[in-house]
């Protein structure tokens, strides 16, 4: 399918375009996972564990949420 025909099909919104995509090559831009190691003092880990247990999520999820919130706030402050 030519790009113009695909764009037209998408713009009309009447047909499902998912069949026209090759999802085997799809990428999640800027969402690729990378593993890092971070060392914290024991009291920080214990505090993280208490807070994570309080809200019912894992320590790793809590750290991810807090870091993302902080980074978004930093970006917003710069605007």
What mean pLDDT comes out for the span 44-68?
97
Q: With 80 as the cut, is the pLDDT of residue 14 above it? A: no
> What is d(CA 51, CA 57) in angstroms, rounded to the nearest whole number?
9
pTM, two decimals, is 0.62
Q: With 80 as the cut, is the pLDDT of residue 79 above it? A: yes
CB 62 within 8 A of CB 52: yes
pLDDT category at 38 given cuts 50, 70, 90 is very high
Q: With 90 as the cut, is the pLDDT of residue 55 above it? A: yes
> What is d(CA 26, CA 32) in angstroms, rounded to the nearest whole number?
12
Question: In the prediction, which pLDDT does 71 show?
Answer: 96
For the chain, what is the mean pLDDT?
91
């Amino acid at each position: 399918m030519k790009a113009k025909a695909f764009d037209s099909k998408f713009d009309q919104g009447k047909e499902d375009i998912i069949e026209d995509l090759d999802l085997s090559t799809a990428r999640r831009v800027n969402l690729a996972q990378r593993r890092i190691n971070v060392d914290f003092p024991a009291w920080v880990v214990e505090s993280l564990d208490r807070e994570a247990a309080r809200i019912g999520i894992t320590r790793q999820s809590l750290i991810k949420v807090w870091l993302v919130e902080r980074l978004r706030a930093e970006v917003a402050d710069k605007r």
